Chains A and B, each alone.
Chain A
Amino acid sequence: MEIASLPISASQRAKLISAGYNSISSLSSVIPAQLARDLGVSENEAIAILKVASQRGGVERPHESHLAIVNGAQSAWDMLHEEEACKRITTSCSDLDDILGGGISCKEVTEIGGVPGIGKTQIGIQLAINVQIPVGYGGVEGKAVYIDTEGSFMVERASQIAEACIKDMQEYDHFLRKDLPGCQAKLTSNDFLANINYFRICSYTEQIAVINYLDKFISEHPDVKVVIVDSITFHFRQDFEDMALRTRLLGGMALKLMKLAKKFSLAVILLNQVTTKYSGGSFHLTLALGDSWSHACTNRIILYWNGNERCAHLDKSPSLRSASAPYSVTGEGIRNSASSCKRARIT
């Protein structure tokens, strides 16, 4: 786009052209002081010209990506690179990691729902431990925020899962780093527990307050790489007379969590309960909080029983196809299902 089309005075236009500024895009990377020097005008005038140019430039896209004009935008190419660099948190169950593209993705909100006893809290505790796996072992080496609304978080269980995680790391040392003496994992299960920031929430107002506070908390603790809410649902199922209010509160909370995930590139895990829904003449199970909530999360994983085996189904994801994988809950935490070793893999 030509300078001639800018709504500025003829003398300014002439000065711009004679100084070599032929197109609006050539103005995009110039700072006011330099422009003032080149044109021999006051700095205020130069600022005014740049302002007009940037307004114009915003309407019609320039040919090259000029971040100064389209402020805050990012090209899809850059985003792809960023996503490739973004690490994933393993679930300790390789079948489950496979359908998730390597684990729970940082920067995104993932909802996990299922019936009582299917292992939602177990997955929550497992992720709070796994986020701490050191980079040398392929982990993220971050800290966790655990927001417990139901009171199901048991310290001894977390300690047990942490012990198993340490054992796995020691085995890894043993097999792959035999020749490196003294390269033992020095972590203890208490170190793991100390890196979990635990909030126990007893009402929905507290829940909203803590989620609003997270932004400040994580700014002060930038090594937090996962936020787990167990469960997002519980306090919102006590009879809310005003369902519209509930939808608004939940929507606001989801937006804040999404922003948090993006801003600090951390994973947000929301655990959800199930409820029965009447449609098409029969009842079936569905995740709680209704249809509008189902838009709130980027990824959605549904846990269900398949006979006597626990299964996870990736129900919604922007980049991965939906798929199911069996898993099991063992003394050591979440692991591959025993039957999946025997099963012939057909892909």
Chain B
Amino acid sequence: MNPESLLRPHPLPTHTPKCTAGCPILDGFLHGGIPCNSITEIVAESGCGKTQLSLQLLLTAQLPIALGGLSASSLYLHSEFPFPFRRLQQLAFSHPSLRNPLDNILIHPLHSADHLLDLLSRIDSALIKPPPQTRFPIKLIVIDSIAALFRSEFDNNPSDLKRRSGLFFKISSKLKAQARRFGLAVVVTNQVTDNVSSSDGMRIGNSGWLYSSGRKVCAALGLSWANCVNTRLFLSRNDEIIGEDDGDILSTRTRRYISVVFAPHLPKSSCEYVVLREGLFGVNNSGAIVVQQNEL
């Protein structure tokens, strides 16, 4: 049993490998993208773009390392049905440099938390030796969404809650061990719940500033699950009134923000983004977006 050196070999000795988000502004915000060897959680209410972002990662993971990708295949486990094939295909068109990108994405449905745990303990062989139809080893696992697995099955009584939090730690421990062993980036999406008790002084994470659609929300699954993830990102949307005329609202505009709730390597910050046909893009301070076409 020996300690490992923190200094990795050339070229970036003090950098954790990361998977680009496919946009220079978002990458700047995330200091390079989604980190490998740990679990990143994306929390958002429905319609904010968490599935968009996770689909986009399936494609950017295939980019060569020189372009910020992992040159890897990915595994997409979905508990929300149906799987958005058309949207994935549409996004794939905006990555013309990738050859048959859909071949390198493995998709599997999830039906329950126990099903997920069972599946995770059986995928080791696929992580060691990638399936024949893919060209790259698997380096990205996306679970969309973890909340859907837990929100239906468990009652609100002590024994179910205890079983539930036990499962959280089991799943997280398994994912972290695999992330570590195979250098995987693990992305988990989560839903939100309304934060009704605001004045009892009990704060979970930085929940004070989780506002979306004008409601005060916090990530679903509670405190135990919050202990299970390394990085928590929060996507929010707020409708903003533009062009008011004598009290009549002429039109509204939705502004979306991605924020760091907690992360070991990122400061508390946020960044505006837009969802376009080509994918999800960050907006810089001057209101511009950068759409890159990566040519090989």
Which residues of A sit under 8 angstroms from B35, Cβ to Cβ? 154
Q: Which of A248-306 contact B (CB under 8 A)?
A: 273-276, 283-285, 305
Binds B, one of A12-20, A94-102, A156-164: A156-164
Say which residue of B13, B31, B204, B265 sits within 8 Å of A115 (CB atoms): B204
Q: Given the complex of chains A and B, what is the CA–CA distance between A145 and B37 in angstroms?
A: 20
Minimum Cβ distance to chain A for residue B39 (Å): 8
A202 in contact with B176 (CB, 8 Å):
yes
- Please name the residue on chain A nearest to B260 by beta carbon: A117
Query: Which residues of the partner chain B approach A239 to less than 8 Å between Cβ atoms?
Result: 162-163, 166-167, 169-170
Check if A150 sits within 8 Å of B1, measured CB to CB: no
Is A115 a contact partner of B1 (Cβ separation < 8 A)?
Answer: no
> Is A182 located at the chain interface by the 8 A CB criterion?
no
Decide yes or no whether B195 CB sits under 8 A from chain A.
Answer: no
Cα A121 to Cα B170 with chains together (Å): 21
Q: In whole angstroms, what is the CA distance A308 to B209 when docked? A: 10
User: Is B203 positioned at the interface, with any CB of A under 8 Å from its CB?
Assistant: yes
B223, A274: Cβ atoms closer than 8 Å? yes
Are A275's CB and B224's CB within 8 A? yes
Q: Check if A198 is an interface residue, CB within 8 A of chain B.
A: yes
Q: What's the least CB distance linking B198 to chain A, in Å?
A: 13
A233 to B168, CA, bound (A): 14
> Does A237 contact B169, Cβ atoms closer than 8 Å?
yes
Q: Which of B35-84 contact A (CB under 8 A)?
A: 35, 37-39
Q: Mark contacts of A228-243 with chain B using CB atoms, 8 A cut-off: 1 yes-contact digit, 0 otherwise.
A: 0000011101110000
A151 to chain B, nearest CB (A): 5
User: A203 to B173, alpha carbons, bound, how many Å?
Assistant: 8
Listed residue (A117, A153, A193, A238) with the most chain B CB atoms within 10 angstroms of its CB: A117
What is the chain A residue whose CB lies nearest that of B8? A155
Contact A194 B1 (CB under 8 A): no
Nearest chain-B residue to A209 (Cβ)?
A: B1
Which segment, of B138-146, B149-157, B225-233, faces chain A?
B225-233
Range for the number of chain A residues in contact with chain B: 35 or more
Do residues B202 and A284 form an inter-chain contact, with CB atoms below 8 A? yes
CB-nearest residue of chain B relative to A241? Answer: B166
Q: Are A152 and B230 in contact (CB under 8 A)?
A: yes
Contact partner, A151, options B8, B180, B261, B262, Cβ 8 Å? B180
Q: CB of B94 within 8 A of chain A?
A: no
- Please, which residue of chain A has its CB at the minimum distance from the CB of B231? A152
Cβ-defined contact, A116 with B232, below 8 A: yes
Could you tell me if A117 and B1 are in contact, using CB atoms closer than 8 angstroms?
no
Residues of chain B within 8 A (CB-CB) of A276 are: 223
Q: A234-B227, A305-B203, A331-B267 are in contact. Are A200 and B4 (CB under 8 A)?
A: yes
Asked if B205 is at the interface (CB within 8 A of a chain A CB), the reply is: yes
Contact A150 B205 (CB under 8 A): no
- Does A175 reach chain B (CB closer than 8 Å)? no
**B230 neighbours in A (Cβ, 8 Å):** 150-152
Given contacts A157-B265, A203-B173, A285-B202, contact A117 B16 (CB under 8 A): no
A117 in contact with B7 (CB, 8 Å): no
Is A145 a contact partner of B3 (Cβ separation < 8 A)?
yes
**Would B226 and A115 count as touching, CB distance under 8 A?**
yes
B287 close to A (CB within 8 Å): no
Tell me the smallest distance from the CB of B153 to a CB of chain A, in Å.
16
Task: A276 to B222: give the CA distance in the assembly, Å.
Answer: 10
